[in-house]
Amino acid sequence: MEIIRPHVEQVLSPALQQLGITNENWKSMIAPSREKSMGDLSLPCFAFAKQLNMAPNEIAEKLQSLIENNDIIDEINSTAGYLNFKASANWLADYVVSGNVRIGDALGGLPTGAKSVLIEHTSANPNGPFHVGRARNAILGDTLVRLHRLYGNEVRSEYYVDDMGKQVAVLAWALANLKPEQVDDILSDRESINDMWNNKPDHERVRWYQAAQVLRNDDSVKEGIEKAIADMVHASENGDDEVLAAFENAYQPVLDGMLETLNRLRINFDEFTKESLFVTNGDVSKIMEKLSTLEIHGVADNGAEYLDLGTRGLKGKTEFYFRRGDGSSLYATRDIAYHIWKFSQCNNLINILGEDHKLQSKQVSLTLNELGYDSPEVLFYSFIKLPEGKMSTRKGNVVFMDDLLEEAKAHAANLVREIRTDYSDVEITEIAEAVGTSAVRFNIIKVSPDKGFTFRWEEALAFDSDSAPFIMYSHTRSRSISNKCLALGITFDIIDNSKLQNENHEIPNSMYELLRVMVTHNDALSKSVEQNRPNLFANQLLNLANSYNGFYRDCKVISNGKVNEMYLAVSEIASKLMKSGMIGLGISPLEQM
RNA sequence: GGACGUAUAGUGUAGUUGGAUAUCACUCUGGCCUUCUAAGCCGGCGACCCGGGUUCGAAUCCUGGUACGUCCGCCA
pLDDT at A223: 87
- What is the predicted pLDDT for the residue at A396? 67
What number is the ipTM of this complex? 0.94
Given a cut of 90, whether residue A505 has pLDDT beyond it is no
Helix/strand/coil (H, E, C) string of A203-272? HHHHHHHHHHHHHCCCCCCHHHHHHHHHHHHHHHHCCCHHHHHHHHHHHHHHHHHHHHHHHHCCCCCCEE
Can you give the three-state secondary structure of A85-125, one letter per residue?
Answer: EEECHHHHHHHHHCCCCCCCCCCCCCCCCCCEEEEECCCCC
| Cα distances (angstroms) measured from residue A60 to each of A55, A74, A133, A494 | 9, 17, 51, 46
Distances (CA, A) of A486 to A385, A441, A480, A577: 48, 33, 10, 20
Strand order in the sheet with A319-323: A297-299, A305-308, A319-323
What's the CA–C1' distance between A587 and B26, in Å?
22
CATH number at residue A460: 1.10.730.10
Domain of residue A57, CATH code: 3.30.1360.70
What is d(CA A141, CA A5) in angstroms, rounded to the nearest whole number? 33
Compute the distance between CA of residue A161 and CA of residue A255 in angstroms, rounded to an integer: 9
List the domain range (segments joined by +) for residue A421: 410-585
A310 CB-to-strand B distance under 7 Å: no
Q: Which nucleotide's C1' atom has the smallest distance to the CA of A556?
A: B36
Reduced to 3 states, what is the DSSP secondary structure of residue A330? coil
- Whether A427 shows a pLDDT value over 90: the answer reads yes
pLDDT in tens, A160-177: 999 988 889 999 999 999
Judge whether residue A67 contacts strand B, using its CB and a 7 Å cut-off.
no
Section A315-337 average pLDDT: 93
* In a shared domain, residues A229 and A82: no
Asked if residue A170 and residue A66 are part of one domain, the reply reads no
Rounded Cα gap, residues A35 and A98, in angstroms: 28
Cβ contact A552 with chain B strand, < 7 A: yes
For the stretch A525-557, pLDDT in tens is: 999 999 999 999 999 999 999 999 999 999 999
Residue A549 lies in a domain: yes
Together in a domain, A439 and A557: yes
Residue that finishes a domain, picked among A254, A275, A294:
A254
Domain C-terminal end among A87, A115, A149: A87
A64 in the same domain as A201: no
Characterise A71 by phi-psi region: left (phi > 0), alpha (psi -120 to 50), beta (else). Answer: alpha
Q: Is the CB of A35 under 7 A from strand B?
A: yes
Q: A347 versus A110: which is more confidently predicted?
A: A347
Q: pLDDT by residue (tens digit) across A431-473?
A: 999 999 999 999 999 999 999 888 988 888 888 888 999 999 9
pLDDT digits (tens, 9 = 90+) for A552-585: 999 999 998 899 999 999 999 999 999 999 999 9
pLDDT band at A393 (very low <50, low <70, confident <90, very high): low
Rounded to whole angstroms, the Cα distance separating A279 from A490 reads 63
Sequence-ordered list of residues with C-beta below 8 angstroms from that of A530, at least 6 positions apart, any chain: none
Give all strands (DSSP E) within A324-437, no chain letters: 348-354, 377-381, 384-385
Residues 319-358 of A with CB under 7 A from strand B: 319, 321, 324-326, 330-332, 355-358
What is the rounded distance in angstroms from the CA atom of residue A523 to the CA atom of residue A545?
Answer: 17
Dist. CA A260–CA A258, nearest whole Å: 5
Task: Look up residue A389 and give its DSSP letter.
Answer: B
Sheet holding A271-274, edge to edge: A271-274, A154-161, A116-120, A348-354, A377-381
Residues 368-397 of A, Cβ under 7 A from nucleic strand B: 382-383, 390
Looking at the structure, do residues A551 and A464 belong to the same domain, yes or no? yes
Question: Distance from first CA to last CA of chain A, Å, rounded?
Answer: 33
Q: Strand B within 7 Å of which CB atoms in A 518-547?
A: 527, 531, 533, 535-536, 539, 542, 546
Looking at the structure of chain A, the number of domains it has is 3
Shared domain for A70 and A178, answered yes or no, is no
Query: How far, in Å, is the CA of A546 from the C1' of nucleotide B30?
Result: 22
* pLDDT at residue number A346: 94
| A528 plus A419 within the same structural domain | yes
Per-residue pLDDT of A104-121, as tens digits, reads: 888 777 766 678 999 999
Task: Please name the amino acid found at residue A552.
Answer: Y
Strand partners, A300: none
Contact A466, A51 (CB under 8 A): no
Asked, for residue A300, whether it belongs to a domain, the answer is no
| CB-count exposure of residue A318 (10 Å: 0-12, 13-18, 19+) | middle
